[in-house]
Amino acid sequence: DGGRVFVLNRYGFDWLDELDPDDDLTLLQQLAIQAASSEASANAYDLALVGSGETAEAWLSLHGAGELQRLRFPELQAATADFDLALDLSAFADDDGIPELGAIVPCGEVLFVAALRVDRSSWTPADRTLLIPVDVAGEQPAVFDFDPLEPGADAIVLQGEGFGGWRLLPPVMAGTEGGDGTQILVLDSGLERVDLATGTSEWLVPAETFAEQGLTRLQLSAFDIDAQGRIWLAAAEPGFASFSLWRVDLEGDTPQLLREVEGLHSVTGALEVIGNQAWFADTTPGASGLRVFDLSMSPVVEVAGSPVAVGLPPMSLARL
């Protein structure tokens, strides 16, 4: 954002690196991430930037503590940024006292922070996922209150468990109503439509529909939307021996899942759709790379020159 590049180091390596995109990603600064409420590893999960230039702020969700931390960038050039605030979100935790904060969904000056609420004895969901709205417009951030008749912090209760990724709902969708910029789609144990303005969520594709195809929450790796407003999913087969690409058909009375491509190999199942092309992170030994498929064709076909070699087996994809 604004030419700044950040890398979050996790799982005991609690550092935030800022790299210089104009100098071969040279390290500009490295900041320690420490929880204010716990001596345990902060394990920062996600970062969102608010503002731009010298007035930018970074907000980090901590998976290891119930905190949303603010990083302020000073106006003095080359001065070290510092964490100046830790917003306590432990009120949204499950019984272990930690909400396991995850992805951050920015919407204007409100950040929606996913609380995964994991049982740390089994590392499985202890309850349904929450989206916690935090108003960061002022000097002192505040949890958003959807219902003025019921004072107190509110959160959107999702229909499913986990939080496997999200996409902004485009204005035009195939088989369902499009969005106006305040609705998102969330992949968890199913696929749901979340209205950030009204604080509501409903199933677009229920978890039961995935279960009928033998697909559980852990198998659903990624999704995206093509130029025709159709939803595509990458999901692991039972046993995780391979992956398939599925198309979601919303044209009928009930949603249908159609397997369009199978036999893919991947560690993460990362997927990005650009226009009518799907890019999949394939890790086939000796032939790894980005496999590219033409989604405008029926049946779907792999384009010439695929897979695109990237040097090492690809693990994740980010659209710029």
For residues 298 and 268, membership in a common domain is answered with yes
The secondary structure of 214-270 as a DSSP string is T--GGGEEEEEE-TTS-EEEEEEPGGGS-EEEEEEE-SSSS-EEEEEEEEE--SS--
For residues 207 and 69, membership in a common domain is answered with no
pLDDT of residue 272: 98
Q: Does residue 55 have a pLDDT over 90? A: no
The predicted model gives 142-154 an average pLDDT of 77
Give the confidence band of 38 by pLDDT, cuts at 50, 70, 90: confident
Q: Which of 157, 177, 204 is the last residue of a domain?
A: 157
d(CA 39, CA 31): 17
Could you tell me which of 163, 161, 166 has the C-alpha nearest to residue 179? Answer: 166
Which has more confidence, 148 or 266? 266
For residues 92 and 125, membership in a common domain is answered with yes
Q: Which of 88, 123, 157 is the last residue of a domain?
A: 157
d(CA 242, CA 231): 20
Lookup result for tokens 């432990």: 90
The predicted model gives 19-23 an average pLDDT of 89
| 200-205/243-249 β-pairing | unpaired
Backbone angles phi, psi at 210, to 5 degrees: -70, -40
Backbone angles phi, psi at 47, to 5 degrees: -135, 135
For residues 167 and 311, membership in a common domain is answered with yes
pLDDT of residue 2: 58
Residue 10 sits in a domain of what CATH number? 2.130.10.10
Q: Does residue 130 have a pLDDT over 90? A: yes
Q: For the segment 76-125, what is each residue's pLDDT rounded down to a tens digit? A: 555 567 788 889 999 999 999 999 999 999 998 899 999 999 998 888 88
In angstroms, what CA-CA distances link 258 with 25, 213, 235, 280? Answer: 42, 10, 12, 17
Give the confidence band of 53 by pLDDT, cuts at 50, 70, 90: low
Give me the chain's average pLDDT, please. Answer: 91
Least confident of 74-83, 129-138, 173-182: 74-83
For residues 151 and 204, membership in a common domain is answered with no
Q: Does residue 256 have a pLDDT over 90? A: yes
pLDDT of residue 78: 54
For residues 125 and 10, membership in a common domain is answered with yes
Q: Does residue 150 have a pLDDT over 90? A: no
Q: Does residue 14 have a pLDDT over 90? A: yes
Q: Which of 157, 172, 206 is the last residue of a domain?
A: 157
For residues 278 and 153, membership in a common domain is answered with no
Q: What is the greatest pairwise CA distance in the chain?
A: 61
For residues 79 and 91, membership in a common domain is answered with yes
For residues 135 and 169, membership in a common domain is answered with no
Number of domains in the chain: 2
pLDDT of residue 138: 80
In the chain, the percentage of residues whose pLDDT exceeds 70 is 96
Lookup result for tokens 């204010």: 36
Q: Two tokens at 69?
A: 């931390």
For residues 150 and 178, membership in a common domain is answered with no
d(CA 210, CA 217): 9
For residues 239 and 99, membership in a common domain is answered with no
Q: For the segment 233-247, what is each residue's pLDDT rounded down to a tens digit? A: 999 998 899 999 999
Q: For the segment 188-235, what is each residue's pLDDT rounded down to a tens digit? A: 999 999 999 999 999 999 999 999 999 999 999 999 999 999 999 999
For residues 177 and 126, membership in a common domain is answered with no
The range of the structural domain enclosing residue 212 comes to 161-320
